[in-house]
Amino acid sequence: MSETLLLGTRKGLFTLVDDGRGYAVTDLAHAGIPVQYAMRDARDGTIWAALDHGHWGAKLARKRVDGAWEEVQAPAYPDGEVLKTGAPATLEQIWIIAEGGEDNPDRLYIGTNPGGLFVSEDRGDTWELVRGLWDHPTRLGGMGWFGGGRDTPGIHSILVDPRYNERVLVGISCAGVFETADGGATWIPRNHGVTADFLPDPTSEVGVDPHFVAMSPTDPEVLWQQNHCGIWVSRDGATRWTAVHEPEGPAKFGFPICVHPDKPGTAWVIPGISDGKRMAIDGKLMVLRTDDFGETWTSTSEGLPQENAWDIVFRHAFDNRGERLAFGSTTGNAFVSTDGGSRWTSLGNHFPPVYSVRFA
Which residues make up the interface to another protein (CB under 8 A)?
53-57, 59, 70-74, 76-77, 79, 88-91, 125-126
**Angle 331-53-277 (CA atoms, 0-180°, nearest 5)?**
30
Handedness of CA 217, 219, 221, 222 (dihedral sign): negative
Q: Which is nearer to another protein, 88 or 105 (CB)?
A: 88
User: Taking the CB of residue 350, how many other CB atoms lie within 10 A of it?
Assistant: 8
Least distance in angstroms from the C-beta of 56 to another protein: 4
Handedness of CA 358, 55, 80, 144 (dihedral sign): positive
Residue 79 to residue 82: CA distance in whole angstroms: 9
Which alpha helices (H) appear in the chain, and where do they start and end? Answer: 131-134, 137-140
- Report yes or no: 5 and 326 within 8 Å, Cβ to Cβ: yes
- HSE-CB at 199 with a 13 A cutoff on CA atoms is 22
Q: Which is nearer to another protein, 78 or 322 (CB)?
A: 78
Q: Which is nearer to another protein, 62 or 358 (CB)?
A: 62
Least distance in angstroms from the C-beta of 113 to another protein: 12
Please name every residue paired with 358 in a beta bridge, in sequence order, or none if there are none: 6
Least distance in angstroms from the C-beta of 10 to another protein: 9
Residue 2 to residue 114: CA distance in whole angstroms: 38
Residue 294 to residue 315: CA distance in whole angstroms: 19
Q: Which is nearer to another protein, 71 or 106 (CB)?
A: 71
Least distance in angstroms from the C-beta of 6 to another protein: 21
Q: Which is nearer to another protein, 92 or 161 (CB)?
A: 92
- Report yes or no: 155 and 170 within 8 Å, Cβ to Cβ: yes
Least distance in angstroms from the C-beta of 79 to another protein: 6
Q: Which is nearer to another protein, 152 or 226 (CB)?
A: 152
Q: Which is nearer to another protein, 83 or 169 (CB)?
A: 83
Least distance in angstroms from the C-beta of 81 to another protein: 9
- Report yes or no: 109 and 118 within 8 Å, Cβ to Cβ: yes
Least distance in angstroms from the C-beta of 71 to another protein: 6
